[in-house]
Amino acid sequence: MKDKPLVSIVIPTYDSEKTLAECLESIKNQTYECIEVIIVDKFSKDKTVEIAKSYGVKVISAYANNPEARNIGILNSEGDYVLLLDSNMVLENKLVEEAVDKFQKESCDAIFIDEEYANDGFWKC
Average pLDDT over residues 3-29: 97
Strands of the sheet containing 81-84, edge to edge, are 58-61, 35-41, 7-13, 81-84
pLDDT of residue 116 exceeding 80: no
Q: Is residue 40 part of a domain?
A: yes
Q: What residue numbers bound the domain in which 42 lies? A: 7-106
What CATH code is carried by the domain that includes residue 19? Answer: 3.90.550.10
Q: Is residue 118 part of a domain?
A: no
Q: Report the pLDDT value the prediction gives residue 124, as an integer from 0 to 100.
A: 54
The fraction of the chain above a pLDDT of 70, given in percent, is 90
Residue range 25-74, pLDDT digits in tens? 999 999 999 999 999 999 999 999 999 999 999 999 999 999 999 999 99
Residue range 74-98, pLDDT digits in tens? 999 999 999 999 999 999 999 999 9
One DSSP character per residue, 56-107 reads T-EEEE----HHHHHHHHHHT---SEEEE--TT----TTHHHHHHHHHHHH-
Q: Is residue 119 part of a domain?
A: no
Q: Is residue 113 part of a domain?
A: no
Q: Is residue 122 part of a domain?
A: no
Q: Is residue 117 part of a domain?
A: no
Q: Is residue 124 part of a domain?
A: no
- Please state the domain count of the chain: 1
pLDDT of residue 11 exceeding 70: yes
Q: Is residue 41 part of a domain?
A: yes
